[in-house]
Each structure stands twice: as C-alpha cells, then as structure tokens.
Amino acid sequence: KYNTNDYWELRRLEAGLPYETALYVPKIMAIAIAMHNCKVFHCEDVTPDPAEPFGEDGEVEGLSVAPGVTLEDVAEAAKIEPDVLAKLNPQVIGSRLPPVELATTARKSWRIYVPKGKARAAAAEIPATGARQSLGTHVVRWGETLDALAAAFGTSKGHLQNLNDLYPHESPRPGTIVFVPAGRTPKAAPDIAATTEPVAVVPDHAFGYQGRRRVFYEPVFGDTVEDVARVAKVTPADVRRWNHLDDQANLQEGMRLQLHVPEDHHPVDALLYEAPEVTVMTVESARFFDHFVGDGRERVEIVAETGDTWKEIGERYGISLGSLERINHRSRRSKLQAGQRVVVYAQRRLLDKLRAEERAAAARQASDVPAASDGSEGSGKIADGTSGGDGPAAAR
C-alpha cells in the first residue's frame, strides 16, 4: 500500500500500522538495547529471566544440547514424540539446533526443554544420537552461492539445504553461519564455483586503470550495487558504468560483474574471480554469438527475396516468430523488402541441407543443367560471406 518496508516510516504514516503495534515494538527494542548495554543504562544488577518453557511450572525441565543436533535426535533420546518436543520448544524454528557464532565463547550449547524426569536420560543419550551427523560450520562470504559451497565442500546443494533448513530457492546471506559436512576443508577459490570455467559477458567498452586489477563477482539474491561496491572498495557509479546497470533495477543471480579493484585488495570475506579464471566475452561479439546462440544452431544473415514472409523464413530455418522478432527488433506483421537482411539462429541440420542445395544449384548452373524445383525456393538466401566452403562464418 505505502511501497515501503521501513517500520518507522509505516509507524509515522496515517493508518500505517495498528496502534498497539506502533506502541509495543519500540518498547521491545528499547528493552533489548538496554539489556545488551547494561553498564550504559545502569542496569547491571538486573538478572534477565530465562526463556520460559512452553508448559506449566514443574512439568518441564531443561538440558543443554550442542548446535547441529536435530530435534528428532533429542526426542529419540528423551523417548518422547517429536511433535511434543516441538511444542515445548517453539523458539527452535528449524529441524535442528542452529550454529553459534564462531567467535563467541559465552555459548557452546542451546537450552532445550523436555518433560520433567526426561532431561538426565536424554543428556546421556544425545551424544550417541547426535554422532550420526557430525557437522562443521562455515561463514558465508559475499558472492558465495550454495552451488559454490557444495563444490567447495564436496557435497550437493540439496544436502546443504537439508542441513540448514533452507527453502529450494533460498540463499544464505553473507556473514550467515551455515552447517557443512564435518572434516572437510573448502577448496581454494579457483575451483570453488564449478567444474567448468565461468563465462562473463562485458560491455563493448574497454576499461583500464593503473594500480587496479580486473576481477569478477557473481551476485546472490539480496545483493545490491552498494553492497558490491563496498566489498570491492569502489563506488556504486563505477559498478554501474563497468556493467551497464540500471540504478533502478535489482541485481540478478547468474550475473557476473566486472570490477576494477585496488591491486592490493584481496577480501577474505568475498568470493572474487580473478580474470584468468573467467572466460570473458564482449557482448554481441562473434565469440558471444557462438557461445549463446545455442547447441545445434548457428547465427547467419539471410537476404530476403520478393514475397518472403517472416513465417516462411522461420519455417525454413527452424526458428520461431517470437525469436525472429526479438533478434531483429521487427514485428512479425511488418512487410519484408527484397534485399533486406534478416538475422536468424538457424537449426544447423536445416542450414547444412540448404547449403548443400545451394552448392548443387551452383554446380548445375555452371554445367547448364536445368534444376528440378523441390519447392524450397524463396524464404531468403544466405548472405554473401556467410556460406560456402566447409561452412560459413556467420555474418556478424
């Protein structure tokens, strides 16, 4: 309604939030700030209450459980049903206890509540059940996708999603601590992303700066241009200029942004690809078209003949009308003029057949042998420079 995700802005606007919400949220935030800064707010003598279990006093008791242990294992150790344990511990969102901050020494475990009389036996059994899945932890870096993590730790993307209770299309943000298979050391950066060399498409304008080197960054969901600029120690305007980005549009997963970073900038919290690790292609170059036209197809220019239509050309070269429109920036309803050049991404098997027919026709003409019509006349001829020999180099 108001096109904003800012709580304070919604609180200010007329009818932005329910009145109670506008009151209690600031109070909760104030308490949280004060309790995390007791000395500043002179409340050192205040002892916070422990988290209240979901049950009546005297009916439950707590035990300490290590990160990574599943609620199913805890329920098995306590000899209770998993749904009973889940009701007693609504603070646990996923199927297993989350990791703790790697730098903290204050917390090594989580407090879990079980029915009274079950804690001691469960505490004795949990190490055995938890040993079934020995887990390590990893702090997600900028530009690090689940695919990259899976390759680095020798596992699958699906396994990482299961370990961390992630939705199919969910990506953990940089700085998030995630579970990974234990006992495995991540591979070095050049091999971390995939088995094949990544491809980066760059604008047809060369940039070069003294004291800088070109690297490539692959955005993940949620990244902004400002994030990328901060990681690379450049300006947002630089990032947009180097990659032809719209400042009103979101970065998309699968992009690979070229960045010219300071020569001595090697951030440990970001996954950057050095130039030799990436196949760089200039947009609309011959190499670009060869790579992206698609398997089994070839980009060629044809010369329209009198009476040709977009439909006939599409059928002749095995390409849809929608693709012809997109490639040539022309409507399928527009009239083709004789001599007009049309770009097609032709099916190679059809193209080979047409080239063979053209060579045969040329040979017959040279020997003055009349050609038998097979109904394939019209619908454009391949432009000069794009046919002949062992297969033409497509006109670019």
Per-residue pLDDT of the chain (396 residues; tens, 9 = 90+): 666 777 888 888 877 788 888 889 999 999 999 999 999 999 889 888 776 655 555 688 999 998 889 999 999 999 999 999 999 998 898 898 988 875 555 567 889 999 999 999 999 888 755 555 678 889 999 999 898 899 889 999 999 999 999 988 888 999 999 999 887 666 654 344 444 678 888 888 889 899 999 999 999 989 999 999 999 999 999 999 999 999 888 998 889 999 999 999 999 999 999 999 998 988 888 888 877 787 788 899 999 999 999 999 999 999 999 989 888 888 998 999 999 999 999 998 898 898 888 888 888 888 765 555 554 555 666 775 444 333 333 333
Residue ranges of domains in the chain: 60-133, 136-191, 199-283, 293-382
CATH level 3 topology of 136-191: Membrane-bound Lytic Murein Transglycosylase D; Chain A (3.10.350)
What is the C-alpha to C-alpha distance for residues 165 and 148, in angstroms, rounded to an integer?
A: 18
Burial class from Cβ neighbours inside 10 Å (0-12, 13-18, 19+) for residue 293 reads: middle
The angle that helices 71-78 and 119-130 make with each other, rounded to 10 degrees, is 130
What is the C-alpha to C-alpha distance for residues 349 and 317, in angstroms, rounded to an integer?
A: 9
Domains 136-191 and 199-283 agree in fold: yes
Q: Using alpha carbons only, how large is the chain's radius of gyration in Å?
A: 32
CB 386 within 8 A of CB 354: no
At residue 111, φ and ψ (nearest 5 deg) are -90, 120
What is the C-alpha to C-alpha distance for residues 106 and 93, in angstroms, rounded to an integer?
A: 22
The CATH class that applies to domain 199-283 reads alpha beta
Size of the chain in residues: 396
pLDDT tens digits for 94-138?
898 988 875 555 567 889 999 999 999 999 888 755 555 678 889
Residues whose CB falls within 8 Å of the CB of residue 31, separated by 6 or more in sequence, listed in order: none
What is the C-alpha to C-alpha distance for residues 11 and 27, in angstroms, rounded to an integer?
A: 14
CA 273 remoteness from chain centre: 16
The pLDDT value recorded for residue 391 is 37
The pLDDT value recorded for residue 192 is 41
Report residue 63 as tokens: 């035990």
Helix (H, G, I), strand (E, B) or coil at 382: strand
Helix and strand counts by DSSP (H, E) for the chain: 13, 12
The pLDDT value recorded for residue 262 is 96
CA nearest to 123, candidates 109, 135, 133, 137: 109
CB 222 within 8 A of CB 171: yes
Residues whose CB falls within 8 Å of the CB of residue 269, separated by 6 or more in sequence, listed in order: 139, 141, 142, 174, 175, 231
CA 363 remoteness from chain centre: 54
The pLDDT value recorded for residue 215 is 95
Predicted model pTM: 0.65
| Partners of residue 353 on adjacent β-strands | none
| 79 torsion bin: left (phi>0), alpha (psi -120 to 50), beta (else) | left
Distances (CA, A) of 199 to 196, 245, 253, 276: 9, 18, 14, 11
What is the C-alpha to C-alpha distance for residues 288 and 380, in angstroms, rounded to an integer?
A: 25
